[in-house]
Structure 1
């Protein structure tokens, strides 16, 4: 952690899905640049451990247990942020679930469909519903919603529910950006490609071969992304350096390849 004041010193950032992967990397990057960070996820113990790491390194962090499928949890998450820090400047809505994979659309159960949409799409809406008023009550701010390359193109791995949810996140982001662009509030999205995480783990049985095929089809750099690479893009979109970027969707995917052969 840096000892000199960082460019985000005095700012407060809320990161959902902060217990691992991209969310964890994003929280660490915010803290490195001087922001106070609220870490939110269902796995409270992992957020608490990450908060302790940040504090031990000289940063500022607080952990909150929150399920993005619960309106009560989401409202309490934002309220806790305001109670603890008195403001909210940046929010990263990253929490998500994968849902059924390698499953043709007509074979997806209604329960599975609802579960994915409830977290990935409606959960993002729930977060913004409470984050936006908190930011408007202060000096404005920046929100980044985490979509996916499958929010920009079809899924080719029987992942239709996830793709539908992430297309929805992009539409929600662009529409909200138009609603609040004149209110000192910027709302953007990132669309990560295949990035190492609990969802994308080449160490699983058969994982190395599977992800080698996927990156050959979807990454012009022919490799998996690292969580820190997506985190850098997210935090940059929240920073003053991105002050005239609003309603954008930034693909962090190594350059699309989509070699369908």
Structure 2
């Protein structure tokens, strides 16, 4: 039986830990060549080493911070993937910054800005350059990490995080409608960052499903991954 992502090149941002690392392992098990990117090179290196030790294909962990427009790291990351592999078929944009637990009126302006930059601007910049490549090369699939705190406002004290993740959900839906006719399918997942929620391996399997041909008719959804939220 052929693997779902055999011959595909997959970029995972935030691939050094948590959901990103679990997704990188899952994509590799399904035959993909995986490229991980993020801010912590030692974690990225460890992810690549573990995947290759298990017989998977993972290359060039790319250090970079996609949230800062001036640094152009998002563009460089996509360019590096294409330079090494000639293509980019799937992108999982998974960089997340929870930020401090504070009431809205107590959030410092710097914290607000940093949280939105990490969670929203980083996704936008990543999509900007991923879409530019995919549009010229026959399409692709993008999955973004939002949060059910953003979509349902479940917890007080996380106003900046909730606002940024709700915006990721809206950005995903808008981009999905703009680019589906160009062969680019875009969706989001909304796991719960606190409490039971779903295990990282369970979330990773959902990411793979959204990125696979099995979900070829799923466009512009924000899929909530939390047992309580679904009841």
Give TM-score, length-normalised by structure 1. Answer: 0.84
1:85 pairs with 2:82: no
1:234 equivalent to 2:207? Answer yes
Is the aligned partner of 1:58 residue 2:55?
yes
Does residue 40 of structure 2 align to residue 67 of structure 1? Answer: no
Question: Of the two, which has the highest radius of gyration?
Answer: 1
Aligned length: 228
Q: What residue ranges of structure 2 are gaps of 5+ in the alignment?
A: none
In structure 2, distance between residues paired with 1:140 and 1:133: 10
* CA RMSD, 1 decimal: 1.4
Counterpart of 2:217 in structure 1 is 244
Q: SS of the counterpart of 1:142?
A: strand
Q: Tell me the alpha carbon deviations over residues 33-79 of structure 1, each in whole angstroms, 9 at most, x when there is no partner.
A: 00011101100111111101111222111211011223311111000
Report the secondary structure of 2:182's partner residue: coil
Deviations 1:184-213 (A, max 9, x none): 11000001124xxxxx5xxxxxxxxxx4xx
Q: Which has the higher helix share?
A: 2
Secondary structure in structure 1 of the residue aligned to 2:187: strand
Matched residue of 2:209: which SS? helix
Q: Distance in 1 between matches of 2:112 and 2:197?
A: 27
Deviations 1:207-245 (A, max 9, x none): xxxx4xxxxxxxxxxx44210001100111000000011
Corresponding residue for residue 171 of structure 2: 172
Distance 1:54 1:137, change over 3 A: same
CA separation of 1:37 and 1:181: change in aligned 2, threshold 3 A: same
1:70 and 1:36 mapped to 2: Cα distance? 27
Of 42, 59, 64, the residue aligned with 1:45 is 42
Residue 192 of structure 1 aligns with which residue?
A: 191
Match in the other structure for 2:27: 30
Match of 1:125 in 2: 124
Q: Please report the TM-score for the alignment, with normalisation by the length of structure 2.
A: 0.95
Unaligned runs of 5+ in 1: 195-199, 201-210, 212-222
Q: Secondary structure at the match of 1:46?
A: helix
| Higher mean displacement: 116-125 or 63-72 | 63-72
Take 2:197 and 2:149, find their aligned partners in 1: how far apart are those partners?
15
**1:21 paired residue number:** 18
Structure-2 separation of matches of 1:255 and 1:139: 39
Q: Which residue of 2 aligns with 1:208?
A: none
